[in-house]
Structure 1
Amino acid sequence: MMPEPTMTQLTLGAPEPAPVRHTTSLLDVRRIYAEPAAAASERGRQVLSRWPDAEVVEVASHWQIPELHGDEANVARWVRIKTEALVLGVKKSLTARPNGRSSDFIAPSTANGCAMACAYCYVPRRKGYSNPITVFTNIEQICGYLTRHVGRQGLKAEPSQTDPHAWVYDIGESSDCSLDATVSDNVRDLVDTFRALPTAKASFATKYVNRDLLGWEPQGRTRIRFSLMPEDVSRVVDIRTSKVSERIAAIDDFVAAGYEVHVNLSPVIVKDAWLDEWRTLLRQLADGTSAASQAQLAAEVIFLTHNDRLHEVNLGWHPKAEELLWRPDLQQPKRSESGGLNVRYRTGEKGRYVAQLLELIEQETPWLRVRYAF
């Protein structure tokens, strides 16, 4: 039996050709932290070949990289880490968790973290601080698991708000799949897998327009949820994302390419004149989409939940965002299961905010079905 290649051999040996895909200014990878098994895999070699000049650092676990996770000194390097670092790991626990809101199930992650830097994102709370993209390289196992899990569900007996007929699997809970697709073929493999599963759909939310996905022929088995909020607010809190106007402009093209397209109206941030700003956004959505797109659009409405630990982190790199996100005059605290302190709009007041936005949606975009709002 041939011995496993060493990390040095993997770095210096002839890499596999990288597939041609969309390039992004969000990534200028200088260092790749890799579990040995991940680096040695076919998908790992594909990612390494994308950045042949990057330094490769062997790590025992993608969860335990002190240079990236849990070091408060990293706050000042928040965006730089997201730009220059990448992690390769193996997803060890394969489970599809029941959901019921965005999807019926949360699929096992094929990536974790993001090169974008939305100030309200909950993902950094899990690993701590910058949390750049981690690519899980055992994609064949993940796709095989999902195929078997879908098969065990059988036909969907009753319609639900997630979908009237198909079991919906969120494939992007901890990352942005549109951006992940610029790093590896994991997302394309998932879209290909669900194309062949007539009783299920993949689903993911995105703030990044990647037009490479238009050539993938999903045949209605993948739902993309473009996240939208008023443009002026987005400029402050949606850091390094595609412009909201660009996301709206992409909807018709993705519908024509065979995707089911929904919108996430989230997070809804309450501030002065917030309803006027949402009215403007809804009119932009109406003016920027065709009748065919509007006929199949649906929305999720999610009001902001923030966290005291993320608040402290943001104060170290982007305090302007906290002027919108951290509003003790409007919010109430609730202790989370992990021991942190979450804040959300006060009970009673939040119900009023939700009702006001739903009324506005009915006035401006009566064709836009709201799947759920909270």
Structure 2
Amino acid sequence: MLHTKKVDDLISIHKIYHEPRIWEYARAVEIRNKYPDAELIEVPAHNQIPELFGFEGSVEDWIWNKRNVLILGVKKALSARANTRSSHWIAPSQSNGCTMSCSYCYVPRRKGYANPITIFVNIEKIMGYLSRHAVRQGVKTEPDLIDPEYWVYEIGENSDCSVDAAICDNVKNLIDLFATTPNAKLTFATKFVNHQLLNFDARRKTRIRFSLMPHNISRLVDVRTSPVSDRLAVMNDFRKAGYEVNVSFAPVIYYQGWLEDWRKLLNEMNDILDQQTKQQLAAEIIFLTHNEPLHKVNMRWHPKAEEVLWTPAVQQVKYSETGQRNVRYKNNLKREIVFDLVSLCKELIPYCKIRYAF
């Protein structure tokens, strides 16, 4: 039996912070009309909100903000950042922030650590930039691990597009754009099942990556997300609706009995996925990265999750590309557990291409 989480369980907008002159944009007006009872609060910029930014607050404030606060802004700097893993390019954001509250989330918890959703309303300008960028790339002549035919653009690096699509048509507009872009496709990962997306015309030019992990650990750390069972249950439907369906095993968390839990999940995938979905399936495998500031914040509201996320005996310091001091599993252990999970995937879901594992 599915315990489907609905959009209304996640979002009930009571406050809309907005930049000056935002109502000049049709998308902003559409959103205002969708939430007519929301209090409108003008701010100098979407990232200049003293009531939210830089204030950790209590978890009660975080969840209230995630559920009830929406921010509308204009995306000013447009650039596509080169990537080498699940996409060739990170597209300029159509949004940032998320209404969900996964305890391991590596996205900086700005806006009061809650990081509620900001929607960028100049979607036409974002789309125009992406169209011109794709034209400049020309035809993709060499297959690679990212895609055999198309240039791939990530549109959900700092958000969950399945939730964003319930607020406005930004995501639908981008799916429509790439459906008719001859040399490119888009991709995003999600932890939320939004059945509205099944009505979009993806034409195999959108790759949706359902984030999966064993049920018991997901119930502990995937706060306010759709249950893993719901995500598994719709994968065939999304493939039938015209999406390329992939999976993201992320983050993989090491704990007593972890591999046996993954064995159960992979066997469940075998039972649920139809043959056509299996034939086009690919996975990315990303093991947990954590950091001490997030650990300290989490200890104030979700210490149970930290019992599996913060395990100094098996973790070591790792500096990110931006210089942030993180922790990951120690090198010798990391090599072993990456090998173990990759081997298990090859044994149980051999049809699933592993795009990368680290």
Match of 1:150 among 114, 134, 146: 134
Q: Does 1:274 align with 2:268?
A: no
What is the SS of the residue equivalent to 1:223?
strand
Deviation at 1:158, TM superposition (A): 1.1
Corresponding residue number in structure 1 for 2:232 = 248
Alignment of 1:169-318 (within 5 A): 169-318=153-302
Contact (CA 8 Å) 1:74, 1:129: kept in 2 or not?
no
Deviation at 1:191, TM superposition (A): 0.2
Deviation at 1:331, TM superposition (A): 0.6
What is the SS of the residue equivalent to 1:284?
helix
Task: Work out the CA distance in 2 between the residues paired with 1:336 and 1:291.
Answer: 39
Corresponding residue number in structure 1 for 2:14 = 30
Letter of the 1:235 partner, please give it.
Answer: R
Alignment of 1:124-135 (within 5 A): 124-125=108-109, 129-135=113-119
Task: Work out the CA distance in 2 between the residues paired with 1:334 and 1:290.
Answer: 40
1:261-292 Cα offsets, whole Å, 9 max, x none, are 00001100000000000000101111110000
1:278-308 Cα offsets, whole Å, 9 max, x none, are 0001011111100000000100000000111
Unaligned runs of 5+ in 2: 1-5
Task: Work out the CA distance in 2 between the residues paired with 1:356 and 1:23.
Answer: 37
What is the SS of the residue equivalent to 1:348?
helix
Task: Work out the CA distance in 1 between the residues paired with 2:52 and 2:268.
Answer: 39
Corresponding residue number in structure 1 for 2:3 = none
Report how many aligned residue pairs link the two structures: 353
Contact (CA 8 Å) 2:54, 2:110: kept in 1 or not?
no
Deviates more, 1:334-343 or 1:111-120: 334-343
Deviation at 1:358, TM superposition (A): 0.5
From the superposition, tell whether residues 80 and 204 of structure 1 become closer, same or farther in structure 2 (CA, over 3 Å): same
What is the SS of the residue equivalent to 2:189?
strand
Contact (CA 8 Å) 1:44, 1:88: kept in 2 or not?
yes
TM-score (norm: length of structure 2)? 0.96
Corresponding residue number in structure 1 for 2:30 = 46
Q: Does 1:344 align with 2:328?
A: yes
Letter of the 1:84 partner, please give it.
Answer: N
Corresponding residue number in structure 1 for 2:84 = 100
From the superposition, tell whether residues 50 and 278 of structure 1 become closer, same or farther in structure 2 (CA, over 3 Å): same
Match of 1:160 among 114, 138, 144: 144
Corresponding residue number in structure 2 for 1:89 = 73
TM-score (norm: length of structure 1)? 0.92
Letter of the 1:191 partner, please give it.
Answer: I
1:117-137 Cα offsets, whole Å, 9 max, x none, are 111111234555011000000
Give identity over the alignment, percent. Answer: 53
Contact (CA 8 Å) 2:57, 2:112: kept in 1 or not?
no
Task: Work out the CA distance in 2 between the residues paired with 1:41 and 1:55.
Answer: 19
